[in-house]
Structure 1
């Protein structure tokens, strides 16, 4: 299906997906390809991205892999230019790459470099994607930028302060850009997943955790929140993207927490305080012992 503007949904569309090697990014790529689109899986982990692209091709889809550091604007802009030169268009950009730091540990255990890394990837990477693709989409007369935030961009999530900071910023960026872009023929949406079963919920390869907050602790924390398979998330999210929804919350029951925070913010904050206290409040963790997370792939919950 194509819109009046020329945007293809999704047959014969071209889409770039950052963080496309695994988790939500890979699931989005597989679902887009199954719906007839051509996907570029962009990721720091080129070998893993190539494996994912090969799997898409084996299933009958069209996919290529590209190495991308989303914190490098020139590299991002080059990938967009090369994609458009090769395919003649860019229908979708999924700004999906992201990392976390010290899940469950609390802000008192951060180092300044931890803040900078999360800001550079989660917010800076999204800004770089917008900067690389937005004007091009305006010039071609169509396009859809889809930014991955999180429920942590809509409600408080104590124990994930740096992550929450970036995801609130991504939501705000998406709201504002959507308002500006509508009159220019470009769509903007923001994905706000609940909890999705990906390597990210244990830190991811490029995330960081601290001693006392092990992968087992974080896994248990997220399991209590009923994670869904990334394939289910991708199917439901792409249906909403096709409808040009501005804020996309999947699974739908997470909207209750968003509505509760909007209606009763003080009550929601008290709940957040209790949850953080029940988790241990990061009391066992020490920032001096911060270490690189497990050798798994970085992706968004």
Structure 2
């Protein structure tokens, strides 16, 4: 990882597992001081200790991104101790999979509270700090689901489209303050989010978590550590849209060039999903 991360201070939400843990580790490898923020404080502490054992500066801080006041307090603590915040990785997320007719209101709210309001809370807590500094970079984790029609996970898709929109607008507005903003749109990465994450779930009675995970394997998931290395290179380039693995851009281009064809592909994918749910022996 390029040395330009050396001496920087990064705050990573959802930093104890999956993409967040991989980013925290790679940031640390690049010489950054890392704040690992997560509801799973035990895991965050374990990762922070592991990084410190390797000679890094790492902190674990308990944070539920759904709580705006808690986010404000956590950001303030990081600034007080570290002196500044150079990077915010607004990364915490959950998923609820299943068709809309399987949803409850709680399903919508749970995903919106973490994936969308959590990002907004991060912006409200950290953006003013970066404006005062005259520098900083906010990286909001969206998804390829935020760029494409994605069946079987409407709540997740809705939040990720919103995160892309916020990021693109904010990138233009923040430039005058010296603050950079990027939207991170992962393809399929081998992490717990594929089956909802620690706090998500699958609303598909015919599928177990193992079978759902197996279905994702057909899309060639990238290992999280390899993903994090490529992402941070794009962050250092100040890319507006960070799509990793790069071949997923094909689906983004298809959505933009031929929305009708993209819808037909989505119908085919939904048909396959329904076939899996109804297949004998899947329950």
Normalising by the residue count of structure 2, what TM-score does the alignment of the two structures yield?
0.95
Deviations 1:144-192, CA, capped at 9 Å, x for gaps: 0000000000101100110000000000000000010011110000110
CA–CA distance in structure 2, aligned partners of residues 20 and 196 of structure 1: 15
1:63 aligned to 51, 58, 62, which one? 58
Q: Does 1:134 align with 2:127?
A: yes
Partner residue in 2 for 1:13: 8
Matched, 1:30 2:25: yes
What is the alpha-carbon distance in structure 2 between the residues aligned to residue 231 and residue 97 of structure 1? Answer: 17
Q: Which residue of 2 aligns with 1:297?
A: none
Contact 1:42-1:68 at 8 Å conserved across structures = yes
**Alignment RMSD:** 1.7
1:10-159 equivalences under 5 Å are 10-101=5-96, 103=97, 105-159=98-152
Q: Which moved more, 1:200-209 or 1:190-199?
A: 200-209
Larger % of helix: which?
A: 2
Q: What residue in structure 2 maps to residue 270 of structure 1?
A: 264
Q: Greater RCO between the two (CA within 8 Å, min separation 6)?
A: 1
Q: Is the 8 A contact 1:15 1:93 kept in 2?
A: yes
Question: Displaced runs of 4+ in structure 1, greater than 2 A?
Answer: 281-284
- Counterpart contact for 1:106–1:282, Cα < 8 Å: no
Equivalent in 147, 167, 177 of residue 170 of structure 2: 177
Structure 2 unaligned blocks of 5 or more = 279-283
Q: Describe the superposition over 1:213-248 as per-residue Cα deviations: whole angstroms up to 9, x where unpaired.
A: 311221122101100110011000000000000000
The alignment's TM-score, normalised by the length of structure 1, stands at: 0.89
Provide the aligned length of Structure 1 versus Structure 2.
278
Give the distance between the partners of 1:55 and 1:271, measured in 2 at CA: 44
Distance 1:26 1:9 in 2: 20
Aligned to 2:223: 229
- Distance in 1 separating the partners of 2:145 and 2:215: 15
